[in-house]
Amino acid sequence: MAEDIREVLDRIEKLPELFYVAVRVAKMLDDLDVDINQLSNIISLDQALTTQLLKLCNSAHYGFSRKIVTINDAVSKLGFKTIKSLVFVAISHGILNNAVKGYYLDKGELWKNSITCAVYSRYIAKISQYSDPETAFTAGLLRDIGKLMIHEYVGINYNAIVKIVNSEMISFSEAEEKVIGFDHCMIGSAVANKWNFPSVLVDAIKYHHNIRQAVLDGCKDIKLVSIVHIADAATMMLGAGIGNDGMMYNIELKALEFLNISKQVGNIEKLISEMVELKSEIDTMIGSVDG
């Protein structure tokens, strides 16, 4: 098992530097005094990123009457935080749009799943009055990145994992760790660490299936973890790019308490029904990038 873990960690080390520009831009956008021309120049170094970003900014979701043609214009119209989210959307498409066979996800399904969870996370962040809905969006977008690293191990051991899920009544990720020695959350957080993501994103990826452990480990932003946890569950319930592990997780009600959501929307069923209304936003975003 130790050899398997080393092999997975080696894969992380060999990942192409697809997030290099995204992380650099994200750090610049954290500085409110950043020079917009300098920011534009950094983004423009990646032609594909620039093209995707302008397509997203000009999507029907934002509804600007005049077409956005420069990065400077995009930043002034949408603001730093939204541009940061869209940079991660554009960059992550190249990774998350691939097939993930061990989880029975065809090409495009993990991408659809990730965008859906991102939009749901931002929505939950807003209704729960979380301070930074765009960070919630990014956390939801990247929460399952670890599946790309371990899907082959999951595919080989799928029957054994499901057997433990059913016999011990535990989640799929807990069974992953029991059978192969690690789960997609653990590996995903290692990827996020490698790319120097903020610690709140690393924690959201690591704990999004395990609120109780996040509390025990003293997670700094339990509200963000709770947001992604609920958004992930809603994504699976509504069948967006659902894989073979989709319905093998439970919602931890403690997450609703941390966000005070019960007082905001009444109950989880009502919350899920409200999320159905976000489909056009999700479809527009996916279409803007895929198109």
Q: Which pLDDT band, with edges at 50, 70 and 90, does 243 fall under?
A: confident
Bridge partner residues of 100 (DSSP) = 105
Q: Of 37-51, 142-156, 162-176, 211-225, which range is least confident?
A: 37-51
User: What gap in Å lies between CA 120 and CA 114, rounded to an integer?
Assistant: 10
Q: Which pLDDT band, with edges at 50, 70 and 90, does 266 fall under?
A: low
Q: Which of 27-41, 79-93, 136-150, 240-254 has the highest mean pLDDT?
A: 136-150
pTM for this model (two decimals):
0.89
**Residue type at 148 in one-letter notation:** L
Q: State the number of CA atoms in the 13 A half-sphere of 219 facing the CB.
A: 23
Looking at domain 100-277, its CATH class is mainly alpha
Residue 18 has pLDDT above 70, yes or no: no
Q: Of 115-124, 173-182, 255-264, which range is least confident?
A: 255-264
Q: Of 12-21, 33-42, 64-73, 86-95, which range is least confident?
A: 12-21
Q: Tell me the DSSP string of 3-33.
A: HHHHHHHHHHHTS-STTHHHHHHHHHHT-TT
Considering the chain, what percentage of its residues have pLDDT values greater than 90? 34
User: What gap in Å lies between CA 149 and CA 68, rounded to an integer?
Assistant: 36
Domain edges within the chain:
17-96, 100-277
pLDDT at position 263: 58
Residue 1 has pLDDT above 60, yes or no: no
pLDDT at position 222: 97
CB-neighbour burial class of residue 114 (10 A; exposed 0-12, middle 13-18, buried 19+): buried
Would you state the structure tokens that stand for residue 105, as one six-digit string? 């996800």
CB-neighbour burial class of residue 212 (10 A; exposed 0-12, middle 13-18, buried 19+): exposed
Q: Tell me the DSSP string of 30-90.
A: T-TT--HHHHHHHHHTSHHHHHHHHHHHTSTTT--SS---SHHHHHHHH-HHHHHHHHHHH
User: What gap in Å lies between CA 2 and CA 180, rounded to an integer?
Assistant: 10
